[in-house]
């Protein structure tokens, strides 16, 4: 009897889990593989909604939980959390002994997991490497993960070119698209009425979905930029409904959360959520008139709904953009003006540059084609020929 190969997913945030969901399901349903899941970061924090419960509610077993203590959002606190992550993943991988781990993106807890895997001689498959986000140190983390990874499942050709430029073997770079689009293609989204009941929110004539994360490399603080965004929201008046999702666990994230809570308390047309979950988040995106903020979801998922995005500041600078994206500096008057432009923008002919919603099966098939994951561990630097 053929031994099932153990595929271990690492997830530390609600957003990343939502992107991985369809691929996790593909692996779970394939008889050649044994699914493993390690949960860490925001999933285990009450401040961020204990979202590991959503993973379990979706029918997945969490094989190892790694608490990295996200009580502090200072540079010192996050650095210590990274250290706890390396220690925790060392223990997890010793127990689980996966044949390969799968990680997505660029968060600091994912870097901890990949560091531990490197020393444990466990191959790494990295999703969404090669992207560019100039306004956050996530970019450096993402590129560091690329150099410690062995298989690269990228979302577009520009990213594939960057991974190749970093000296990775072109035979191990696969342009597959963004896995989050698979869920959009297959999920039965909630109706507007169902959403209103679930969110305790009455949609207005115009509505926006706001997600703003800390910007870690800008000279202007995340708090100052978010204050500008709130001023712009004030100028829209009470006839625009506002749904806000709270930020990730990054430097100064708690200051933004405090501002959100204060704003919602004073504005009856606004509601805020620690975590909407993938189904409610995407269902909301399908119902609103514009996505506003600096989240990657505005660039990657919103175009599939043919919705305009007001992308604020430099956090996502450098990412591939569809014609539905409107960029705005973090100034109240500019943000207000751009939101009003978004309300008038025709996005009916938008094409999403991040794939066709069949990413997960492509990744699974590439994994099945590799007979020996361990053979990936030795990887010479691939020199570009001039």
CATH code of 190-344, in short, is 3.40.50.2000
Strand partners of residue 284: none
Provide the 10 A C-beta neighbour count for residue 325: 22
* Closest-CA residue to 349 (of 321, 320, 319, 323): 323
Q: How far apart are CA 317 and CA 128, in angstroms?
A: 16
Taking alpha carbons only, the member of 277, 272, 274, 292 closest to residue 225 is: 292
- Quote the tokens at residue 45: 């924090």
pTM over 0.85? The answer is yes
CATH class belonging to 5-178+355-376: alpha beta
pLDDT at 175: 97
Q: Same topology for domains 5-178+355-376 and 190-344, yes or no? A: yes
Nearest to 171 by CA among 163, 183, 181, 159: 163
> Do β-strands 270-273 and 290-293 pair in parallel, antiparallel, or remain unpaired?
unpaired
Provide the residue-wise pLDDT of the chain in tens; the chain has 386 residues: 678 999 999 999 988 999 999 999 999 999 999 999 999 999 999 888 899 999 999 999 999 999 998 888 888 999 999 999 999 999 999 999 999 999 999 999 999 999 999 999 999 999 999 998 876 788 899 999 999 999 999 999 999 999 999 999 999 999 999 999 999 999 999 999 999 999 999 999 999 999 998 876 666 788 899 999 999 999 998 899 999 999 876 667 788 999 999 999 999 999 999 989 899 999 999 999 999 999 999 999 999 999 999 999 988 888 999 999 999 999 999 999 999 999 999 999 999 999 989 999 999 999 999 999 999 999 999 998 76
Cα distance from N-terminal residue to C-terminal residue, the chain = 48
CB 38 within 8 A of CB 8: yes
Per the CB < 8 A criterion, the answer to whether 44 and 17 are in contact is no
Domain ranges of the chain: 5-178+355-376, 190-344
Q: What pLDDT was estimated at residue 386?
A: 62
CA distances from 225 to 240, 243, 312 (A): 21, 18, 9
């Amino acid at each position: 009897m053929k031994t099932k190969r153990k595929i271990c997913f690492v997830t530390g945030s609600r957003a990343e889990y939502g992107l991985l969901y369809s691929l996790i399901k593909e692996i779970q349903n394939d008889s050649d593989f044994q699914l493993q899941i390690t949960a860490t970061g925001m999933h285990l924090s009450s401040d961020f909604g204990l979202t590991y419960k959503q993973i379990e509610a979706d029918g997945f077993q969490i094989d190892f939980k790694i608490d990295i203590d996200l009580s502090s959002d200072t540079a010192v606190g996050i650095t210590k959390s990274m250290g706890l992550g390396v220690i925790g993943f060392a223990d997890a991988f010793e127990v689980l002994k996966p044949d390969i781990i799968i990680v997505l993106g660029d968060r600091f807890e994912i870097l901890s997991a990949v560091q531990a895997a490197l020393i444990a001689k466990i191959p790494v498959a990295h999703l969404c490497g090669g992207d560019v986000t100039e306004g956050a140190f996530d970019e450096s983390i993402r590129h560091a993960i690329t150099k410690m990874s062995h298989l690269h499942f990228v979302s577009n050709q520009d990213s594939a070119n960057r991974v190749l430029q970093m000296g990775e073997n072109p035979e191990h770079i696969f342009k597959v698209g963004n896995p989050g689009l698979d869920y959009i293609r297959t999920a039965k989204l909630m109706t507007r009425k169902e959403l209103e009941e679930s969110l305790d929110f009455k949609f207005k004539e115009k509505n926006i979905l706001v997600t703003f994360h800390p910007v870690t490399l800008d000279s202007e603080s995340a708090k100052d930029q978010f204050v500008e965004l709130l001023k712009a929201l004030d100028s829209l008046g009470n006839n625009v409904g506002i749904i806000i999702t709270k930020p990730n666990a990054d430097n100064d994230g708690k200051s933004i959360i405090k501002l959100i809570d204060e704003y919602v308390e004073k504005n009856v047309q606004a509601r805020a959520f620690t975590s909407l979950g993938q189904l409610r988040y995407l269902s909301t995106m399908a119902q609103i008139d514009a996505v506003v903020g600096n989240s990657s979801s505005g660039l990657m998922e919103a175009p599939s709904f043919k919705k305009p995005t007001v992308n604020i500041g430099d956090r996502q600078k450098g990412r591939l953009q569809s014609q539905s994206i409107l960029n705005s500096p973090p100034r109240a008057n500019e943000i207000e003006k751009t939101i009003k432009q978004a309300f008038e923008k025709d996005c009916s002919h938008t094409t999403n540059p991040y794939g066709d919603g069949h990413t997960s099966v492509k990744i699974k098939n590439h994994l099945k084609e590799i007979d020996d994951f361990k053979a990936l561990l030795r990887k010479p630097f691939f020199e570009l020929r001039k």
